[in-house]
Structure 1
Amino acid sequence: MVSVIFVNFWTSKHIKKLLEKLKNENFEIIVWNNSKEDEILEDSIKIINSSYNIGFGPAVNRAVKLANFNYILLINPDCKFDVKVIYELYNFLRNNEKVFAVSPKIISNNKIWPSARRITNPFLLFFGRRSIFRFSKLSKKFLYLDKNDKIVEVEGLVGTFLMFKKDIFLKLGGFDEKFFFYAEDLDLSLRALKSGYKLFLLNYLVVEHDVGITRKIKNSFAEFKRAKSLFLFMIKNYFIFKLLSPFLLVGFLYYTLILMIRELFNFKIKDIDFANHFQ
């Protein structure tokens, strides 16, 4: 039926809670341990212990190859959900042949946490959730906040709570392992679109996300990798950004410096209340 994959990086206590929730369901559970000193020990599930942190995308690629089912669900350890959401995602995928991946609506602290992106227009990438332009109405467009339908066909999905078909995932080559973590999901989405597959956001299903548990633990490391992955995503997939790569590199280095200053002074970026800001 469904193979559920967790990637553990200092999040074992959160994964154990979710394992308890799923223990009576007929799902295959696979845990890839990326943190050697925070391993999970369970007899009833598949556990792969990595000798070092190989990254999120590479871990998922290896775990998917071990899965026995064609329907794969990636769950961030910091998610809370009703199990019926999994069955709804599964039924939607199973009944739509050309659909590669599907995701529910994500909320955090009772606020919408957008889980879809418009990625065919490269310039909308500058209007993301943490961009200095995030209060622009173009952010609403980039994050699909202009669509209130229950079912929305989208260009890109993030991997917070993502179900996809294994056979298509492998056909597409899986996650590009140049991305340590972050942007690997958007890169895969773009390849799926170019291959003629569809992606959907199901707004009638809701999952709660306690955002950034890993980033809270290893903040500077995580933010640096995030910025690097976004830079790689842009120059890999858009010719205009490849031409502008020296300027983007300067921006990347500047952003990294800002992250270091933020960490030093414990400064936090103000997030948008997406549910109300654009009304």
Structure 2
Amino acid sequence: MKVSVVIVSYKVPYHLMLCLTSLQKATTGIKTEIIVIDNASNDQTHMLILKYFPNVKYIQNQTNDGFSKANNIAIHQALGEYICLVNPDTILSETCIKSVIEKHQSIKNCGILGLRLIDGTGHFLPESKINTLTLKVAALKMLGFSKHYYNNNISEQGEGQTATLVGAFMCFKKQDYEQLQGLDEDYFMYGEDIDLSYQFIKKGFQNYYLGSEKIIHFKGESTLRDKIYFKRFFDSVKLFFRKHYSNSKLMIGLVSVFFHVAKYFKKIKMAKKEKTEINFNSVYLFSDDILLIENLKPLFNQEVKLLNNVERHQKKFENDLIIFDPSVSSYLEIIDFMIKQRRGNNLFRFIIPQSNILIGSDSSTSQARVMTF
């Protein structure tokens, strides 16, 4: 077995369907097993996998014990030479798995290899490559200054060494992972990817960012706007310092001061924040299925315009909503189109194959919306 793809799922059945559909194409020709481990979602996840993805290995946890523990259970059972950790709210291009394996094999002492993450509007997610977490970096991050947190020495489309990679997509050798402590189960959510990246570096490996390959990650980092995330980030920082730094007590004391200062200003900022309604001019459907038009029309209370392949590439889109039918376009083509059109303030939706579900996200900080037509 060459690759084991591990996905931890929790109450995102339709996001998972879209992810698995893209994964089937991304692993074509590669000896792969896909393992989905569900953290007690108690929803239709298992039923949908049985119906549409019978070849997926499914593990049902009885309780939600967090991201790290679920991954460790699945990795222990995995048979692949390589492990790819993939979030359920991602869409993979057809070339990404093959490319990251080939790149990983070409790099001496490669630990974790990550790739370029794109949000639901086609914009780059800077957390695709992160610097080492230090007191200065953590303090500035909580105060809203992320310049030193992200690795800006590598361009969006470039490649090179980086200290930290994000858990939305990680590729590493199973035998290398087994030399480490592994994903620390003291981290329930947030911080475990930073910790694992650091473990690989301490063991003498180098982590690597590959910007030529990209995937969509609907739920981008919340940039500490959400108060729950804000607290969890702070708790993860404390745990990381306690584990990896000898002067952790002093560092935790100092970062605590920054946390309380930042929390005060964050509270004021959030109180002033107004909700804005999402508007768009026209709705376009990229499909060959004309019957979809009438089914989609009630969702938007306006005409849905069908565009053929030539028209899609000739038209300039501005403040429009674009619906992709993956049965007529490759995921790589769709992702490239989104990147090309990202400056036009457009919105994007995906039809999940074999369903009447649309999924899309309208910012780097919002979870993908599910719509039934």
If the length of structure 1 is used for normalisation, what is the TM-score?
0.80
Question: What is the rounded CA distance, in whole Å, between the counterparts of 1:168 and 1:70 in structure 2?
Answer: 10
Kindly, what percent of the aligned residue pairs are identical?
Answer: 26
Cα distance change of structure 1 residues 27 and 267 upon mapping to structure 2, 3 Å threshold: farther
1:186 is aligned to 2:191? no
Cα distance change of structure 1 residues 267 and 28 upon mapping to structure 2, 3 Å threshold: farther
Which residue pairs with 1:234 in the alignment? Answer: 241
Say which structure, 1 or 2, has more relative contact order (CA 8 Å, 6+ apart). 1
| Structure number, greater radius of gyration | 2
Counterpart pick for 1:56 among 56, 62, 67: 67
User: Is the partner of 1:156 in helix, strand or coil?
Assistant: coil
Task: Provide structure 2 residue ranges, at least 5 long, that are not aligned to the other structure.
Answer: 276-341, 344-373
Counterpart pick for 2:149 among 142, 161, 164: 142
Alpha carbons 2:36, 2:59 under 8 Å: kept: yes
1:45 is aligned to 2:27? no
Question: What is the rounded CA distance, in whole Å, between the counterparts of 1:255 and 1:46 in structure 2?
Answer: 44
Alpha carbons 1:119, 1:155 under 8 Å: kept: yes
Alpha carbons 1:78, 1:209 under 8 Å: kept: yes
Instruction: Give the superposition deviation at 1:196.
Output: 0.7
Which residue pairs with 1:13 in the alignment? Answer: 14
Instruction: Give the superposition deviation at 1:227.
Output: 3.1
Counterpart pick for 2:123 among 111, 131, 134: 111
User: Is the partner of 1:40 in helix, strand or coil?
Assistant: helix
Counterpart pick for 2:39 among 31, 34, 37: 34
Q: How does 1:177-256 map to 2 (within 5 A)?
A: 177-212=185-220, 222-249=229-256, 252=259
Instruction: Give the superposition deviation at 1:188.
Output: 1.3
Question: What is the rounded CA distance, in whole Å, between the counterparts of 2:94 and 2:229 in structure 1?
Answer: 29
Task: Provide structure 1 residue ranges, at least 5 long, that are not aligned to the other structure.
Answer: 269-274
- Deviation string 1:71-108 (CA, Å, 9 cap, x unpaired) is 11111122122121111001111233410110111122
Alpha carbons 1:85, 1:206 under 8 Å: kept: yes
- Deviation string 1:152-185 (CA, Å, 9 cap, x unpaired) is 1111111111111111112112111111121111
One-letter code aligned to 1:203: G
Which residue pairs with 2:286 in the alignment? Answer: none
Question: What is the rounded CA distance, in whole Å, between the counterparts of 2:208 and 2:242 in structure 1?
Answer: 26
Question: What is the rounded CA distance, in whole Å, between the counterparts of 2:252 and 2:12 in structure 1?
Answer: 35
Question: What is the rounded CA distance, in whole Å, between the counterparts of 1:178 and 1:223 in structure 2?
Answer: 18
Alpha carbons 1:157, 1:186 under 8 Å: kept: yes
Segment drifting more, 102-111 vs 38-47: 38-47
Which residue pairs with 2:4 in the alignment? Answer: 3
Structure with higher helix content: 1
User: Is the partner of 2:241 in helix, strand or coil?
Assistant: helix
Cα distance change of structure 1 residues 239 and 80 upon mapping to structure 2, 3 Å threshold: same
Segment drifting more, 17-26 vs 53-62: 17-26
Cα distance change of structure 1 residues 259 and 123 upon mapping to structure 2, 3 Å threshold: closer
User: Is the partner of 1:102 in helix, strand or coil?
Assistant: strand
Question: What is the rounded CA distance, in whole Å, between the counterparts of 2:227 and 2:171 in structure 1?
Answer: 29
User: Is the partner of 1:89 in helix, strand or coil?
Assistant: helix
Which residue pairs with 1:72 in the alignment? Answer: 83
Segment drifting more, 228-237 vs 141-150: 141-150
Alpha carbons 2:116, 2:212 under 8 Å: kept: yes
Which residue pairs with 2:320 in the alignment? Answer: none
Question: What is the rounded CA distance, in whole Å, between the counterparts of 1:111 and 1:121 in structure 2?
Answer: 27
Which residue pairs with 1:271 in the alignment? Answer: none
Q: How does 1:151-166 map to 2 (within 5 A)?
A: 151-166=159-174
Alpha carbons 2:143, 2:258 under 8 Å: kept: no
Instruction: Give the superposition deviation at 1:126.
Output: 3.1
1:133 is aligned to 2:138? no
- Deviation string 1:13-57 (CA, Å, 9 cap, x unpaired) is 111122223336342111111133133232321111111111001
- Deviation string 1:213-248 (CA, Å, 9 cap, x unpaired) is 9x8xxx765554333222211332233443243444
